[in-house]
Amino acid sequence: MTDFTRLAEDIAREAGDMLLAKRPTMSVAPGAVQTKSSPTDVVTTLDRASEQLIRQRILAARPGDRILGEEGGEAPGESDVRWVVDPIDGTVNFLYGLPEWAVSIAVEVNGRIVAGAVNVVPRGEMFTAALGEGAWLGGERLRCNPAVPLGQALVATGFGYDSARRAVQAEVLTAVLPRVRDIRRGGSCAVDLCSVACGRVDAYYERGVNYWDYAAAGLVAAEAGAVIGGLRGRPYNSELTLCAAPGLFEELHDLLAPLDPERDT
Ligand code: IPD
Ligand code: CA
């Protein structure tokens, strides 16, 4: 494990422990919830507390590094190193007491992601990866499911917070669902990508996820042998993130591309 991976893991573990300790036992404590881009896009005081803790720990260990976080935006710095942080991916699950949420921390050097840790806190599972060195769940090296044909693929996806975008996502889904084994909507992009990495699903696609959602888990999936990309040869991005083993990736891509899944109306 690289020093970056180890540090990302340590900090993701500490933030996860804090969240578990402070999480309300009853779901949806109204005073603790605000909304962001739409009435369904929630942020809790614990999202902010988690990001603050993560920022403090990163800067204590590596003063001067840059940090991009979902809640606090970009903090400038001189370093070639930038940390990409989602303090809780799957905030709605967190709020409702569902088990699919994670703390996600990635490390970029000169714009390239080199390390990542995804702490799926309720399950006690720590996914880690280092560029060119593999992906792990705890001590176990990960490989995604090879050679699954589209018709037998279990496909994870998700939906954005904007109502018009959701209408298109639902339309795309009606064309995908009859062609695959089944669909899963777990509620955390980071967990979905880690699920591809460890073979709990065969593929994942989603329109509109943010860089902090997939930065760490995308490396986990890629290091587990999955292809992760966008439409028509583009690198994966917020327009569309698509991930599956080679072969299935192309099949799912060719199903999605003519549906124009990047549109919002
Ligand atoms: C969300 C989750 C969800 C995905 C949404 C994301 P958040 O992140 O990753 O699975 O469908 O598009 O915004 O808001 O819980 O950090
Ligand atoms: Ca997120």
Q: Known catalytic residue: 192?
A: no
pLDDT digits (tens, 9 = 90+) for 108-150: 999 999 999 999 999 999 999 999 999 999 999 999 999 899 9
233 C-alpha to ligand 2 centroid (Å): 25
Beta strands in the chain (DSSP E): 33-35, 42-44, 66-69, 73-75, 81-89, 102-109, 112-120, 125-130, 134-137, 140-141, 154-157, 182-184, 203-206, 227-229, 241-244
Catalytic annotation, pick one of 51, 89, 192, 206 = 89
Mean pLDDT of the chain: 93
Chain-centroid distance, C-alpha 239: 14
Q: Is 229 in the pocket of ligand 1 (CB under 6 A)?
A: no
Chain segment 54-91, per-residue pLDDT in tens: 999 999 999 999 999 998 999 777 899 999 999 999 99
Distance (Å, whole) CA 261 – CA 5: 34
Q: Please answer whether residues 127 and 136 qualify as being in contact, where contact means their C-beta atoms are separated by less than 8 angstroms.
A: yes
State the pLDDT at residue 37: 66
| Cα–Cα distance for residue pair 249/22, rounded to 1 Å | 40
Between the CA of 220 and the centroid of ligand 1 the distance, in Å, is 18
Q: What is the pLDDT of residues 182-220, one digit of tens each?
A: 999 999 999 999 999 999 999 999 999 999 999 999 999
Q: Which tokens hold the place of 246?
A: 């080679």
Report which of 35, 226, 71, 213 is spatially closest to residue 145, judged by C-alpha positions: 226
> Which tokens belong to 46?
């614990």
Residue 85: partners with Cβ closer than 8 Å, 6 or more residues away? 51, 54, 55, 58, 67, 68, 69, 70, 104, 105, 106, 212
Residues with Cβ within 8 Å of residue 56, at least 6 apart in sequence:
none
Q: Which class does domain 2-141 fall in?
A: alpha beta
pLDDT given at position 237: 86
The distance from CA 22 to its chain's CA centroid, rounded to whole angstroms, is 22
- Among all bound ligands, the one having the nearest atom to the CA of 194 is 1
Question: Distance (Å, rounded) from C-alpha 173 to C-alpha 253?
Answer: 13
**Cα angle value 82/5/240 (rounded, 5°):** 60
Q: How far is the CA of 137 from the centre of ligand 2 (A)?
A: 20
Give the architecture-level CATH label for domain 150-259.
Answer: 3-Layer(aba) Sandwich (3.40)
Q: Per-residue pLDDT averaged across 168-190, rounded?
A: 98
CB atoms within 10 A of CB 264: 13
Please give the share of the chain, as a percent, with pLDDT higher than 90. Answer: 83
Q: Facing residues of 117 across strands?
A: 105, 128
What pLDDT does 39 receive?
63
The residue type at 77: G
Ligand 1 mean position to 35 CA, how many Å? 13
Helix, strand, coil percent values for the chain (each to nearest 5): 40, 25, 35
Whether the per-residue pLDDT at 40 is higher than 70: the answer is no
Strand partners, 106: 84, 116
pLDDT for the residue numbered 35: 67
Rounded average pLDDT over 100-111: 97
Report the nearest atom of ligand 1 relative to the CA of 89.
16
Pocket flag, ligand 1, residue 241 (CB < 6 Å) = no
The residues facing 125 across adjacent strands are 120
Domain limits of the chain? 2-141, 150-259
Is a pLDDT exceeding 90 seen at residue 44?
no
Pocket of ligand 1 contains residue 89 by CB under 6 Å: yes
pLDDT tens per residue, range 109-120: 999 999 999 999
